[in-house]
Chains A and B, each alone.
Chain A
Amino acid sequence: MNPVGQASWPFRFCRFLLALLREIADEGAYGRHLSALGREHSREEWRRFSERRLLAKYARPKCC
């Protein structure tokens, strides 16, 4: 962090990269799912989330 409290660009870039990777990995969506329903992370919750998520994801064609 610089003196005025703004994150430096390499830090912001890394944060963006991590957010992008988390989004592609569905971890971002899982976090939103937990906060939207006010639930805690658990094996069963992940299973519920990923089953619904993957069912929709693999019903759509993948690009060539």
Chain B
Amino acid sequence: MKVLGHLLWAAIAVLAAFCLAGIAINHGEPVNSMWMVVGAACTYAVGYRFYAKFIAARVMFLNDKRATPAERLRDGLDFEPTNKWIAFGHHFAAIAGPGPLVGPVLAAQFGYLPGTLWIIIGAVLGGAVQDFVILFASVRRDGKSLGQMAREEIGKVGGFTAMLTVLLIMTILLAVIALVVVNALKGSPWGTFTIAATMPIALFMGVYLRYWRPGKVLECSAIGFALVVLSIFGGQWVAASPAWASAFSLGAMALALSVVVYGFCASVLPVWLFLAPRDYLSTFVKLGVVVALAVGILFVRPELQLPAFTRFVDGSGPVFAGKIFPFCFITIACGAVSGFHSLISSGTTPKLIAKESHIFPIGYGAMLMESFVAVMAMIAACVLQPGVYFAVNSPAGVVGATPAAAAATISGWGFPVTAADMATLARNVGEQTLFYRTGGAPSLALGMAAIFARGGGGQAVLGFWYHFAIMFEALFILTIIAAGTRVGRFMLTDLLVHMKVGPAKPNRGIAWVIGTTLVIIAAWGYFLVQGVRDPLGGINSLWPLFGISNQLLAALALCVATTILLKMHGPKYMWITCVPLTWLATATFTASYQKIFSPLPALGFLAQARQLELGPQSPTTQELIFNARLDAAVCGLLALLVAVILVDSLRVWYGLLRGTRDTRVSEAPFVPSRLQPEEV
């Protein structure tokens, strides 16, 4: 039986290698997406069965006889021993945001291969390891946060730097995802109406839950979902009506200002009235769409139209500038390695873990699932004709300001497309135009709509599915904006209290709430407006900034994880986290350096400022110059913050290796578990 098991795992490993080699070597003819799906699934299985199990058994010594914080500190609310698969679902729902969907779509400009390999290998060796070790560390430390662990394991500098880094990342994240929504909705009455309709629907749900049917969240979410689907049909009617269509056709700047106003209102309104019902709805829609996309891909088995590599591996890409190394590894953060996950792994999830053995499937397994979502997003982008992909994702500043000019430029790159093809496609999905829709969301929606429509209904339902996908993306991005602005307010308050600025009392009054909210809104709103005004489309500068900041947070999490492993075992197993840390630090610092100092204006912020200085001067040019320098400063600050953490960590590791520092781990003491099997 044991031999049979070995043979089975050997076959799975061979199949993984065969499929990955198949997509890597097979050039020149369309590749079926199933090669990617099977290759990814088999690699995940091997990584989970062997690598993660090795870490769990040899490094962590997961012990079910040890009571977890969920059992010891049980309060029925935050700390609660929860069924393994329910905690898994909860954790997955919390880590799956827009990142794994948008990043791979943008990185598809290099072709399907580099991004796919990074998603699969990065997740198995880096992202899942980070989530796993941080979750384990937090469970062993009473569910402490990453910042608290950084303070305890590395030192006060690490703790404070972590706090500041997270606030900066939040600001960039909110700006860039807001820009994704703006670019998806500009000039789209159908999409704008549908998203506008989700606001009164959320308010209705809030009142329903508070006064009519308190506690009936599932029932209320089902009603909300039905209303949202109705609003998609309503959007089609709005787009067909000349009077209503013009009312809901907003330009990029008008949409950006609307998102800023929305962000303010949504984050200061009572949570029960707007944010919470919207969040419930968006979580259910998100999970439903991820499952539907997986089923759709398995059912339709589409062929990939983008090549394995495009000519843009040389760094001249229209979607964003920069070569495969380091920019592929920066663009795809969530889906391969995401620093943000460490906040979830040291936030809600450790308080739900009933048994230590559950850390294994939840910490490692959920990240593999997120990686699989990223693979599906890559497939959805790559089923588009390359000409269509580049027409949708390239800014006017790169390809030309008219459809004919853009089509000619893109065709000149070897990806044939005509303005007439694009007009027909736009008509089929109920849009006025699909040119210059940078940000990834529209091309992802097109790919998803193509897959769903091939599952049944054909061209007749293409418009519905396109707008359903846009609604799904915008719904949960706008929910993250509302929640993120609110959290940013709390973080700013913590930071100010830490710096002894502002009142330390818990209830600081409405003026404080409005003031701190305005500061956060102004911060991400500024970057959003900057992105809208950027002639290169905004994504070119903001997405790499977001990717860099997210990977830097991962570097911080891996520093904490390495310190903990070093204290537990000495240098024996520190390679487990040191290898991904070294890779991330190399890629991220290289990307930061190139974004600041590259002499190419399309890539380097300072070169861009210098080029603008040489041209004709106007107030707009002055603003663009200032923005380029600001982006360079933010990029430099992020790199500096993480350099501080790295140096601080190296100092601690040196002390640990030399035996001059205390190697005691700050774990909670062992308490035997008394949890009965029926309790979980």
Contacts and interface: CB of A to CB of B under 8 A. Distances in A.
Interface of A: 16, 19-30, 32-33, 35-37, 41-43, 46-47, 50-64
Contact of B214 (A32, A47, A59): A47
A61 B484 contact: yes
A58 B487 contact: yes
Contacts of A57: 276, 348
A50 to B, nearest CB: 6
A23 B90 CA distance: 7
B170 A61 contact: yes
Interface of B: 76-78, 80, 82-83, 85-86, 89-90, 93-99, 166, 170, 173, 177, 209-211, 214-218, 221, 271-272, 275-276, 280, 283-284, 287, 333-334, 338, 340-341, 343-344, 347-348, 479-480, 483-484, 486-487, 490-491, 546, 550
B480 A23 contact: no
Contact of B340 (A42, A59, A64): A64
B495 to A, nearest CB: 14
Contacts of B86: 16, 19-20, 23, 28
Q: Lowest 7 A-B CB distances belong to which pairs?
A: A25-B217, A46-B214, A36-B76, A64-B99, A20-B89, A46-B215, A64-B97
B215 A54 contact: no
Nearest to B212: A43
A64 B338 contact: yes
A59 B76 CA distance: 19
22 contacts: A16-B83, A21-B218, A23-B90, A24-B283, A27-B215, A28-B86, A29-B76, A32-B77, A35-B76, A41-B214, A50-B209, A52-B77, A60-B343, A60-B348, A60-B487, A61-B166, A61-B487, A62-B479, A62-B480, A63-B334, A64-B173, A64-B333
B174 to A, nearest CB: 10
A33 B76 contact: yes
A27 to B, nearest CB: 5
A54 B209 CA distance: 13
Q: Is the interface of B mostly helix, strand, loop or mixed?
A: helix
A24 B343 CA distance: 18
A60 B347 contact: yes
Given A25-B217, A30-B215, A43-B214, A64 B284 contact: no
Contacts of B85: 16, 20
A62 B95 CA distance: 8
A2 B239 CA distance: 53
Contacts of B283: 24
Given A41-B215, A61-B484, A63-B96, 5 more contacts: A21-B218, A23-B86, A57-B276, A60-B348, A62-B479
Contacts of A21: 218, 284
B276 A25 contact: no
B486 A58 contact: yes
A19 B93 CA distance: 14
B170 A29 contact: no
